[in-house]
Amino acid sequence: MSPPARRSALVTGGSRGIGAEIAARLAAEGYDLTIAARDPETLERTAARLRERGAGEVYPTVAAMNDLDQVRNLVRGHGERFGGMNVLVMSAGTGTAGRVADMAPKTYERMLDINFRAPLTLIQTALPLLRSSAAADPGRGAKIIALASITGVVGEPGLAAYGATKSALISLCETVSLEESRHGVAATALSPGYVDTDMTVWKHDVLDPAAMLTTADIAELALAVTRLSAAAVVPNIVVARAGDQLWRA
């Protein structure tokens, strides 16, 4: 069977930061895109930039990841527009620092909602689309890429609940590959240290943004994953910052 003429990708958190950079790289590869986030103006601005960059269609969709009905509708909208899904990128995420001793339930519930419950629901809703796109493109299959964190691999003081939600996401990716790679669907977690985005502005007084990873570093790895054959499963890619702290964010 020949590969499909057009590929499509859904990118949550696609309006800014890592998600926007991955979306830009996918646009340049010719993908049709749905990008999702909460703020409509930022979404529209990013969509306009992506349209200049790629040949594919770009649909910005407002969807809050803490509302699971909005999460499901986001996936359904993508399926109705494009008839399948070759790549699902889950970049929407949130992090609040705090020690275990002091963490309020409302703070960790929010991280669980956005960093774990939403990705689980995204995957559950998208699997029929991913499977059908994988069947139409058996050489490459379909890919799920989840933005986890190095703090999900090794604990880091002050980032307990955030890291725990990312550990759950890494585990979810492993199991999805175990259950779905025979249908051509493989999931990969990307687990970087600090990346220079809006999310890390709070660190600027202790960590120079120039010492952080770049969104381009992460997008490069995401693109490589999308190009792998269906024979390959990459469970997790850890990306450390240069320096003497290999397993620290």
Ligand X SMILES: NC(=O)c1ccc[n+]([C@@H]2O[C@H](COP(=O)([O-])OP(=O)(O)OC[C@H]3O[C@@H](n4cnc5c(N)ncnc54)[C@H](OP(=O)(O)O)[C@@H]3O)[C@@H](O)[C@H]2O)c1
User: Binding residues for ligand X, per CB under 6 A?
Assistant: 13, 15-19, 37-39, 42, 64-66, 91-95, 114, 147, 149, 192, 194-195, 197-200
The strand ranges marked E within 68-155 are 87-90, 142-147
- The dihedrals phi and psi of 241, each to the nearest 5 degrees, come to -80, 150
Which position's Cβ is nearest ligand X?
Answer: 93
| Upper half-sphere CA count for residue 241 (Cβ side, 13 Å) | 21
Q: How far is the CB of 184 from ligand X (least distance, A)?
A: 25
Comparison of 92 and 134: residue with beta carbon closer to ligand X: 92
CB of 182 to ligand X, least distance (A): 28
Shorter beta-carbon distance to ligand X: residue 219 or 230: 219
Residue number with CB closer to ligand X (50 or 136): 50
Helix (H, G, I), strand (E, B) or coil at 116: helix
Q: Smallest gap, in angstroms, from Cβ of residue 188 to ligand X?
A: 14
CA 210, chain centre distance (Å): 23
CB of residue 134 to ligand X, shortest distance in Å: 24
Q: Which is nearer to ligand X, 64 or 237 (CB)?
A: 64
Calculated CA dihedral for residues 121, 67, 148, 96, nearest 10 degrees: -150
Q: Quick one: 177 or 200, whose CB is closer to ligand X?
A: 200
Please identify, using beta-carbon distances, which residue of 136 and 144 lies nearer to ligand X.
144
Backbone angles phi, psi at 33, to 5 degrees: -130, 140
Q: Which is nearer to ligand X, 40 or 139 (CB)?
A: 40
CB of 136 to ligand X, least distance (A): 29
Strands of 13-78 (E only): list them: 32-37, 58-62
Closest distance between ligand X and the C-beta of residue 230, in Å?
Answer: 26
Round the CA-based radius of gyration of the chain to a whole number and report it: 17
> In this structure, are residues 148 and 236 in contact, taking their beta carbons and an 8 Å threshold?
yes
**Dist CA 67 CA 118 (whole Å):** 8
CB of 135 to ligand X, least distance (A): 29
Q: Name the token pair of 63.
A: 């969807």
Give the 3-state secondary structure of residue 161.
helix
Q: Are 142 and 184 in contact (CB under 8 A)?
A: yes
